[in-house]
Every structure is written in structure tokens, then in C-alpha cells.
Amino acid sequence: MAARINTLDPPSSASSESEIEEMQTDFSEVFPDADVDEEKSGDFYNTPASPITVPYCPRPPSTGSQKSPKSRRQRTTSLNQSAKKSTAESIIRTQHRTIYTAGRPPWYNSEGQKVEPFVIGICGGSASGKTTVAEKIIESLGVPWVTLLSMDSFYKVLNEKQHEIADRNEYNFDHPDAFDFDLLISTLQRLKEGRKVEVPIYNFVTHSRESRTKTMYGANVIIFEGILTFHNPKVVEMLDMKIFVDTDADVRLARRLRRDITQRGRDLDGVLKQYTSMVQPSFNHYIAPLMSHADIIVPRGGENEVAIQLIVQHVHTQLQLRGLKLREELAQAYAINKQPRPDTVKLLPTTPQIRGLHTFIRNKDTPRDEFIFYSKRLIRLVIEYTLSLMSFVDKTVETPQGVLYHGKRMATSNICGVSILRAGETMEQAVCDVCKDIRIGKILIQTNLQTGEPELYYLRLPKDIKDYKVILMDATVATGAAAMMAIRVLLDHDVLESNILIVSLLMAESGVQSIAYAFPKVQIVTTAIDPEINDKFYVLPGIGNFGDRYFGTEPSDC
Ligand SMILES: Nc1ncnc2c1ncn2[C@@H]1O[C@H](COP(=O)(O)OP(=O)(O)O)[C@@H](O)[C@H]1O
Ligand SMILES: Nc1ccn([C@@H]2O[C@H](COP(=O)(O)O)[C@@H](O)[C@H]2O)c(=O)n1
């Protein structure tokens, strides 16, 4: 069943149109095969979680059969038209401003350290069924966040002369030298570290990389498939499970003939020439010996259901071993290990004014309009306080009286706000009011009511966020699980830990400790710290569910 992606409402008035244009909508790239609703969904917070989401490179567009090798360049025009159509479709998709999808469970432990994904390598001859096996594994795994990376993406860029040779079916694409192993290794390494990567999209018709790339994220499981996946020792070392798909040569040739003629713009003579002169000899010389690296050999490829089920079982066991009970762990870690409050925690001075505002918003009988009013005042104070923590430099100005005033100016204008939806969104307006033209990003994290764990549903971050100081906003922090997930997202986007400030109205001591321990360089700003959380992970004495009270929604369970 295809994963389902819906569009969300455009960001609140806090974000201007131009800011929206500048933002990345990465998930449309990450989930290319997912359905995208063109209409805005209704109440997206109530939309049930989607089934499996499988971010992976789609196959190249299907193309019509072709006649002579001579006219390859002309033929590629019509083939490219269909490729262009597919590109256009995907551009339309990326123009959807806001997209969300099935939730991603935590990919890091209670110390904020990433848990490495399980990496499966699939090797085998051309058309042996590697991609088919990978797709069947993904289908049977039923795990969200599986990334399929193909070695094809790393074919080297050819020069003019090499292109001519390739057009005559005389370029050896089955030799290890045809691949850019440096890019391949760095990409796989980054994915394994859970970082975002830009993966080239390869076009078999033109023997070249397309101008656009595919954005991919780390995942719980990464499947890497290709004819020479076990060739480079550094790659082999990164693989947790090595599968070799062993399919008879005549079956591979038959499949390749059909596929290359219908999908890759080749003709019968061309395929046979390439196959006999390069594909088969390279298979014998380079690929077949790689079988010795395999943990599992899958005869016949995708039709071997027994082998696929065994593989799936093993992966499930491995994932369970890495399984996390993050919220529980965070709550328990604090109970066992109370430590002094670190100095990255910046608590607003507890003045009578602050206590007065808290008295309004903590009172269960405060009507909603007053709750909003006093929350907004408190939010404004905490945001102003956050700005006071930024670095300032000297700045001298001349007053209208012609006298110099020796003042200060903020050292950087590269500040952006990121709200953790939905409660954090209530803080956006204040940040926009005090930071002129600030760019706003959003991260939607929701609790899975079955597992109790936070899940990442959607993110939309300003481009080049890595160059920014980020004011990360959430109204309350209890265990710190959602805040930690949001911080992890920012780090995965290469934001410096020391450039992150998590800002909240109210935090629980345990949440403060968990964040501070996991991310010692993140500044934690709040107007109050409460001592406890209950078994439903509410802060005590607390405010109740801030989002429900502010938005006037039915009380939610968690
Ligand atoms: N068991 C199978 N029976 C029939 N056709 C298959 C089977 N497995 C794969 N194919 C077809 O053979 C071609 C190559 O399969 P694919 O999985 O893409 O191989 P690889 O990734 O090893 O090149 C595709 O067109 C695919 O649809
Ligand atoms: N421009 C290219 C690049 C590669 N090939 C062939 O593709 C095969 C690898 O892809 P599979 O999906 O079959 O694993 C490889 O055998 C190359 O010969 C090509 O024909 N043209």
C-alpha cells in the first residue's frame, strides 16, 4: 500500500510568502512514491498515522522501444520528454509547500546519540533481481523509514569522448572504474550517520546524471544495492548484512534485453554487443567472486519468498535489539541520576510579574481567552530574554541632537525560529515581533499513543539552516523527548549544537536534565522549572495540556 502524504495548511501569518518560497520541502523528495493530496487536509492533527513509508529512488521513467544506435541522441529527445514529464510532475510535487507523512520513531538514544541504522547490501549481476529483492524486503518489513540507495546513482560523469563510446555500446559500465566510489562512500557514511544527503539521479538513456538530485535522510534500515556493492572494502565494512542475488546468466540476459529495450532506450544488437563484450566478462571477473563476501545467497531473486522471509525475520530481530523506550528511559534516568542544574539552563528571574502570569495560566479555571492573553505575555518575555542571551557588539549612532550614543547591536542577524508543532507555534508571533524578517521553520512531532514515543511527522526548515542560530520553540517540555527529537533534526541538518536555543514557557526538571545531558552545548531557556512529571508525562504542578487549552481542543490523553 502506498504511503500517504497530505498537504498541511500554509504556515501561520508569522511566515511571509517569501520565507515560504525559500524553505525546503524535502519530504516530497524523500517520499517520491507517496501520494500527495493537492487539497489541504482538514484537521491534520487528527489524521491517523500512515502505513509504511518507503523513501527510495524510483526507477528511471519507462521509455518506448527504439531502433538504431545511430539515432540515440534523437531518440533521447523523446525519451527525455517522458523523463521531463516525470521531472515536471516531481517539481509540481515539490511546490507543495507543506507535506507530512508517516511518523518516524526516534533514531537516537536517551543520551541523544544516534542509533545506527541497519544497513543491508545487495549485490549481484545486472538484472539478477537486486532491486526486486530490495523492494520485497521493504514491503515485508513493514517498518517506516527504510531508504533504498542504488549504486547506479554513483556512475561517473562521462566526458564527450566517453559519451560517444557509450553511445556505441562500447563503454564498460560494469568495470569498477565506472563508479565514483569516493562519492558513494561519503554518501553511505552520511546516511549511516543519519544525516541528510543529496543523491545524484542517474539517467541510463543519456548515460549521465540529471541536474537535480534526490534528498535522502538516514533511516532505521538502509538498503544499498548494485552490481559491485561488495567491491570496495570500506563499503563492505559499513554493511550489517550482505546478500548476493544469484540468478542464472540466461535469465539475466533475457530480463536485461527486455528491460534495456523498453526502459533504457537500447536496441537488440546494442544490448547483445554490450552484454557479450563487457557485462558478462565483468560479471565473471569482478562480480561473481564477490559472492564469497555474502552472508546470504538468494538463488532466483525476488521469487525466492523463503529467503526473503528469513532475511526479514533477521532484520526485525536486529531492530528489536536496537529498540528504544525513550520517554520511559528519560524519565527513569532522571529519577536515578539527579544532577546539579547545568549552566546552559537560563531561567528567567522569578519576579512577582512572572509568578503572576504563571498564576493565571496554571489555574485550571482560567477561561481560554485569558489563558491566551497571559500566555502571550509570558511568551513575549521569554523570547525577549532569549534575545538578550545573544552576542552583542558595540555600535555607535548619532542621535537627532547630533550627539553620539554608544550602544550595542546584535552580533549576528542569522537567527531563525523553528517551532515544534503544535504548541510551539503559539510562540512564533512573538519571535516575529521582536526579530524583524526572521525566517520560521516548523517541525511536527506527535506522540504515538501506542508506544508513547515521539514521532517525527513533518519538517520544513529554512534553507541553509546550518548557518543560523536557531530559536527552537515549544510551549512546555516534560521528559524532553520531543525537544530532543527536534534538536536531533537540527543537528542532522548540520546546525551547530552551540547555535541552538530551546525555548519554553515551562519545563520539568527531568526534561531539562535530559536535554542538557544529551546536548551540553544547547542553551535551555524557560520561565519556570517544575520538579516532577506524572506517569502520563505531564509536568507537575504544570499547566495541563498547553495546546488543548490554547487552541480550545478536546483534552488529549498524552
Ligand atoms: N522473478 C522475476 N520474474 C520476472 N521478471 C523479473 C523478476 N525479477 C525481476 N524481474 C524483472 O527483471 C528486470 C531486472 O530486475 P531488477 O530487480 O531491476 O534487477 P537488478 O536490480 O538486479 O538489475 C526488471 O525489469 C524486473 O521487472
Ligand atoms: N549508462 C549506463 C550505465 C549502466 N549500464 C548498465 O547497467 C547495469 C547496472 O544496472 P542494473 O540495474 O542492471 O544493476 C550494468 O550492468 C551496466 O552495464 C548501462 O547499460 N548504461
Give me the percent of the chain exceeding a pLDDT of 70. 77
CA of 126 to the centre of ligand 1 (A): 9
Residues 263 and 131 in one domain: yes
Residues 204 and 330 in one domain: no
Range of the domain at 393: 326-551
Q: Give the end of a domain, one of 255, 290, 321.
A: 321
- CB of 215 sitting under 6 A from ligand 1: no
Domain CATH code at residue 81: 3.40.50.300
> For a substitution probing ligand 2, which of 157, 173, 282 has the most ligand atoms within 8 Å of its CB?
173
Q: Residues 331-375: pLDDT tens digits?
A: 666 655 667 788 999 999 999 999 999 999 999 999 999 999 999
Q: What is the pLDDT of residue 380?
A: 97
Q: Report the pLDDT averaged over residues 420-435.
A: 93
The torsion region of residue 145 among left (phi > 0), alpha (psi -120 to 50) and beta comes to left
Residues 280 and 388 in one domain: no
- CB of 97 sitting under 6 A from ligand 1: no
Separation of alpha carbons 415 and 408, rounded Å: 17
Find the ligand nearest to 132 CA: 1
User: Does residue 310 form part of some domain?
Assistant: yes
Residues 408 and 547 in one domain: yes
Separation of alpha carbons 309 and 121, rounded Å: 16
Confidence at 328, pLDDT banded by 50, 70, 90: low
The one-letter code for the residue type at 51 is: P
Residues 278 and 361 in one domain: no
- CB of 302 sitting under 6 A from ligand 1: yes
Looking only at the bridges linking them, the beta strands covering 208-216 and 197-203 are: antiparallel
Residues 343 and 315 in one domain: no
Question: Is cis: bond before 422, omega within 30 of 0?
Answer: yes
Residue 224 pLDDT > 90? yes
> Is the Cβ–Cβ distance between 245 and 133 less than 8 Å?
yes
Q: Give the end of a domain, one of 284, 305, 321.
A: 321
CA atoms within 13 A on the CB side of 411: 8
The count of structural domains within the chain is: 2
SS3 57: coil
User: Does residue 295 form part of some domain?
Assistant: yes
Confidence at 324, pLDDT banded by 50, 70, 90: low
Residue 36 pLDDT > 70? no
Q: What is the pLDDT of residue 392?
A: 93
Q: What is the pLDDT of residue 342?
A: 87
Residues 289 and 341 in one domain: no
Q: Which has the closest alpha carbon to 123: 297, 352, 253?
A: 297
Q: Residues 199-221: pLDDT tens digits?
A: 999 999 999 999 989 888 777 88
Measured torsion, CA atoms of residues 21, 25, 28, 31, in degrees rounded to the nearest 10:
180
User: Does residue 199 form part of some domain?
Assistant: yes
Q: Give the end of a domain, one of 321, 341, 369.
A: 321
Q: Does the global pTM surpass 0.80?
A: no
Q: Report the pLDDT averaged over residues 442-452.
A: 82
User: Does residue 556 form part of some domain?
Assistant: no
> For a substitution probing ligand 1, which of 132, 256, 260 has the most ligand atoms within 8 Å of its CB?
132
SS3 89: helix
Least confident of 39-43, 240-244, 543-547: 39-43
Q: What is the pLDDT of residue 556?
A: 60
User: Does residue 431 form part of some domain?
Assistant: yes
User: Does residue 558 form part of some domain?
Assistant: no
- CB of 132 sitting under 6 A from ligand 1: yes
* Ligand 2 surroundings by CB, under 6 angstroms: 126-127, 130, 152, 155, 166, 173-174, 204, 207, 227, 279
Beta carbons within 8 Å of 92's beta carbon, 6+ residues apart: none
User: Does residue 557 form part of some domain?
Assistant: no
Q: What is the pLDDT of residue 332?
A: 67
Residues 343 and 480 in one domain: yes
Instruction: Please name the residue whose Cα sits nearest to atom 14 of ligand 2.
Output: 126
Residues 311 and 402 in one domain: no
Instruction: Please name the residue whose Cα sits nearest to atom 11 of ligand 2.
Output: 126
Residues 408 and 485 in one domain: yes
CA of 62 to the centre of ligand 1 (A): 14
Residues 224 and 371 in one domain: no
How remote is the C-alpha of 322 from its chain's centroid?
A: 19
Residues 306 and 434 in one domain: no
Find the ligand nearest to 263 CA: 1
Domain CATH code at residue 528: 3.40.50.2020
User: Does residue 78 form part of some domain?
Assistant: yes
Q: Which has the closest alpha carbon to 432: 376, 482, 487?
A: 376
- The number of the ligand 2 atom at minimal distance from the alpha carbon of 259 is 13
- CB of 303 sitting under 6 A from ligand 1: yes
Residue 226 pLDDT > 70? yes
Instruction: Please name the residue whose Cα sits nearest to atom 16 of ligand 2.
Output: 126
Confidence at 125, pLDDT banded by 50, 70, 90: very high
> Is the Cβ–Cβ distance between 184 and 151 less than 8 Å?
yes
- The number of the ligand 2 atom at minimal distance from the alpha carbon of 172 is 18
Q: What is the pLDDT of residue 323?
A: 59
Whether ipTM > 0.95 holds is yes
Q: Residues 53-85: pLDDT tens digits?
A: 223 222 333 333 333 333 333 333 333 343 333
> Is the Cβ–Cβ distance between 76 and 67 less than 8 Å?
no
